[in-house]
Amino acid sequence: MRVLIVEDEQLLCEQVRGFLAQKGFAVDIANTGSDGLYLGEEFPIDAAIIDLGLPDFSGMELIRRLRKAGVTFPILILTARSRWQEKVEGLEAGADDYLVKPFHFEELMARLNALIRRSKGSAHPVLEHGNIQLDSVAQDVFVSGEKLELTAYEYKVLEYLMFHKGEVISKSALAEHIYDEDFDRDSNVIEVFVGRLRKKLDPDGQNQPIETLRGRGYRIPATPT
C-alpha cells in the first residue's frame, strides 16, 4: 500500500516514514500543502497522513481541496491541536480519523490499517480466498493453515490483489502501489514476484488463485474457483 505523509516537521516526518517503510508501506513525502495537493491528485495513493500546521496553507485547507478535486482515499489528521472543535472541523472537511501528537506509532499503524481496510470494503483484518488467509495486521499468509515465507514485495503484491479481488490489476498499477516515488520501478519485476507467489501458494498448480489476463494484468477472482 502507498501512503502519503504531509508534514513540515522534518524529524517527525522521517520517523513516521521509516516506521511505515519497516511495516511494508511505500511512502511519499510532502512538506507543504502545495506539494501534498500535487501528490494526492496525481499519484495512486492508498491513504494519507496530514498535519494541520503547514507552511503555505493549512492541512485543513489541503483536505478540503483534495476532496473537492474528487480524491477519495482515506485521510488521517496528525496534529498537536487537541481541541474537540478542531477535530470536528477536520472530520467535516473530509478527514476520516484524527490522531493527536504525541502519539504511539503502533496506534498510528492500527488506525491507518483500519482506514485502508474500510476503504477497500473489508472491516476485518484477515482476508480470505479459498484456503488462503492473509492477516493484514501481522502481515502473515497461511495456506491450509500453514504459514508461508514471503518476501516483503511478494507480500505487498498478494495483499494488493487480495484487497482488490475481482478486479484486473495491471503490472504498472501494482508497481505504483508497492514502490514509493523514489524507486526505479520495473514492471517486469512484478512478473517475477507473481511467479514466485504462484509457486508458494499452489506448488502443484491444481488451484492457482492468481489469474493472468494477457495484455491486461492479474486478478484474484471475487470467489474461489
- Could you tell me which of 162, 178, 181, 175 has the C-alpha nearest to residue 219? 162
For the chain, domains (ranges, CATH) are: 2-119 (3.40.50.2300), 126-219 (1.10.10.10)
- Could you tell me which of 66, 159, 170, 78 has the C-alpha nearest to residue 120? 159
pTM: 0.83
- Per residue of the chain (225 residues), give pLDDT as tens: 899 999 999 999 999 999 999 998 999 999 999 999 999 999 999 999 999 989 999 999 999 999 999 999 999 998 887 777 878 888 899 999 999 988 999 999 999 999 999 898 877 889 999 999 999 988 999 999 999 999 989 999 999 999 999 999 999 889 888 887 655 556 578 899 999 999 999 988 788 899 999 989 999 998 887
**Alpha-carbon dihedral sign for residues 118, 124, 125, 126:** negative
